[in-house]
Amino acid sequence: MFSPRVRKLALTVHLTLSVGWIGAVVSYLALGIAAKTSGDAETVRAAWIGMDLVGWFAIVPLALVSLLTGIVMALGTKWGLLRYYWVVFSFALTAFATAVLLAHMRTISSVAGAARKADGAALFELGSDLAHPGIGLAVLLVILVLNMYKPPGMTRYGQRKQRCLPD
């Protein structure tokens, strides 16, 4: 277990990174909306390039470090990683969101590369996938709610640990 000072510092770092991830996804979503709705070819090109940059330089690092700091928080506090259902679900959703993000970013980089080379008419055919960032944002908000409200319910493992029985 962490000392109270270390726990507060770790929690501050984790929350900052996690909320930053949400904010970066909102900016990515705004760029996606611009790419889909703009009638200006240069805006569409810039939006795709921006989505690629925000994805790789903000969202991916924030997702990976949020996942890592979440594990550290779980293992270093009374909540544990496998003791409470809300922690298990939060971890599973975070890991899933990170995996989907990493797979999705390859596609975004490919489309951004095409946007760099495309002429005006071809840019408008690139479209924009708003489902991934929209669903991703919803998943992150579910994780946020789980972590704020901490719904009751211990796993069997948690119940055994609480009774101090051997695993």
d(CA 166, CA 127): 56
Is the predicted pLDDT of residue 46 greater than 90, yes or no?
Answer: yes
Q: Minimal CA–CA distance to 100: which of 137, 49, 45, 145?
A: 137
pLDDT at position 71 is 95
pLDDT, tens digit, 9 for 90 and up, residues 8-31: 999 999 999 999 999 999 999 999
Confidence of residue 167 (pLDDT cuts 50, 70, 90): low
Contacts of 4 (CB under 8 A, 6+ apart): none
DSSP 3-state of 137: helix
| Every domain of the chain and the residues it spans | 4-162
Q: Minimal CA–CA distance to 35: which of 140, 136, 134, 112?
A: 112
pLDDT, tens digit, 9 for 90 and up, residues 100-151: 999 999 999 999 999 999 988 888 888 778 999 999 999 999 999 999 999 9
